[in-house]
Amino acid sequence: MAKRLDEVGSEKGRQLLQDLNIRVEPVPTVVSAVENATLVNAFDWESVVDGNGREIALFEGQRRTQYREYMERNIGAVLAEKKLCVLDVENIPDLLTVQVPGLNIDLAGRTDLLILSDVAKKYPSELPSLPGVKMLIEVKKEIVTDSSYQALSELIALDLRSDDPVMALLTNLTDNWQFFCVSSEKSGDCATINKATIKKPGEAFRVIKALLAQPPTADEVNLPYIQGPVKRRKLAQLLPCIDEGGESGGNRECIERYFDIASVLGPDVEMARAVGRQIARSIPAFSMYS
């Protein structure tokens, strides 16, 4: 069952979240206790001013170049410090293609921009491995409900493709900046993706810069304007391991993953129960009771 990321709207998005047992939880935004954000102008979707002060209308391809440069200008210092880059990957159609482990679900597609190691810029052949990827950015001139589900599906794909926790940003580059990340908090048996919305570009860029400054493996981060700390986790640590064919390999991987996590983070009762239910489902005599 292949799902094209750019075709995931409300109906397919809700089904994907249901299939993966994921809930989306809004996170309140707060007034920052530190200095005010630098004033940043919203992106101008219609035109750009050239070196002679003349206003030039933008076409689609030019817009992509301009909004990539807009992002770079406003986070340039942290990009240089952390040896990161912003890449336009809109024309690489299957960059985020991945199979969800243990499920008959394939996610196929790409996003608009990625922030990742500048190795990918210096050596383009390394891009498919997504070295040091930090976040994806889905850019929409107009954001509708379907847009959020597309960004969520892209986050799920990138999280499964990457080694470290990642974040997704859905934005119109003006007054709507929606941040998504996988949370360590669970809601019953459901994994949780947190969502926070920022309205001002300057504040949104402060969030991005704070995120990029964190160590890649940091599970808990403090981000300005977002009630926190933000506790991040990988979906592979939270998703139930469903073995459609009842083979022992899926159960073995599920058990091994649990013990790997428990050896680092300590016992997790809810995860242990989820593993137990998965094993029960794979045993015909007990499947009706699980």
Mean pLDDT highest for which of 60-64, 104-108, 141-145? 141-145
Q: 202 near 38, Cβ under 8 Å?
A: yes
224/269 same-domain check: no
User: Does the residue 80 lie in any domain?
Assistant: yes
28/86 same-domain check: yes
135/266 same-domain check: no
Domain count along the chain: 2
pLDDT digits (tens, 9 = 90+) for 31-47: 765 556 678 999 999 87
141/255 same-domain check: no
Longest dimension (CA), the chain: 78
66/210 same-domain check: yes
179/271 same-domain check: no
Phi, psi dihedral angles at 215 (to 5 degrees): -60, 145
pLDDT digits (tens, 9 = 90+) for 85-96: 999 999 998 999
Q: Is the pLDDT of residue 13 over 70?
A: yes
pLDDT digits (tens, 9 = 90+) for 158-210: 999 999 999 999 999 999 999 999 998 777 778 999 999 999 999 999 999 99
Tell me what the mean pLDDT of segment 101-110 comes to: 87
Task: Look at residues 212, 235, 258 and tell me which one is the last residue of a structural domain.
Answer: 235
For residue 218, the model assigns a pLDDT of: 86
137/276 same-domain check: no
Please give the residue that has the higher pLDDT: either 288 or 34: 34
User: Does the residue 202 lie in any domain?
Assistant: yes
- Give the tokens for residue 119: 């190795």
Range of the domain at 137: 2-235
C-alpha to C-alpha distance for 70 and 63, rounded to whole angstroms:
10
184/264 same-domain check: no
- Give the tokens for residue 161: 């493709």
123/223 same-domain check: yes
Range list of H helices, the chain: 10-20, 60-82, 119-122, 145-161, 201-212, 248-265, 269-281, 284-287
User: Does the residue 241 lie in any domain?
Assistant: no
Nearest to 157 by CA among 127, 118, 130, 132: 130
Ramachandran bin of 26, using left for φ above 0, alpha for ψ from -120 to 50, beta for the remaining angles: beta
User: Does the residue 257 lie in any domain?
Assistant: yes
136/44 same-domain check: yes
For residue 288, the model assigns a pLDDT of: 42
User: Does the residue 110 lie in any domain?
Assistant: yes
258/224 same-domain check: no
User: Does the residue 121 lie in any domain?
Assistant: yes
pLDDT digits (tens, 9 = 90+) for 258-270: 676 666 566 767 6
C-alpha to C-alpha distance for 205 and 202, rounded to whole angstroms:
5
**pLDDT band, residue 156 (cuts 50/70/90):** very high
- Give the tokens for residue 162: 């990457």
Instruction: Give me the amino acid identity at 117.
Output: S
273/139 same-domain check: no
Please give the residue that has the higher pLDDT: either 35 or 136: 136
Nearest to 157 by CA among 214, 99, 103: 99
User: Does the residue 90 lie in any domain?
Assistant: yes
CA 106 to chain centre: 17
User: Does the residue 240 lie in any domain?
Assistant: no
What percentage of the chain reaches a pLDDT higher than 70?
A: 79
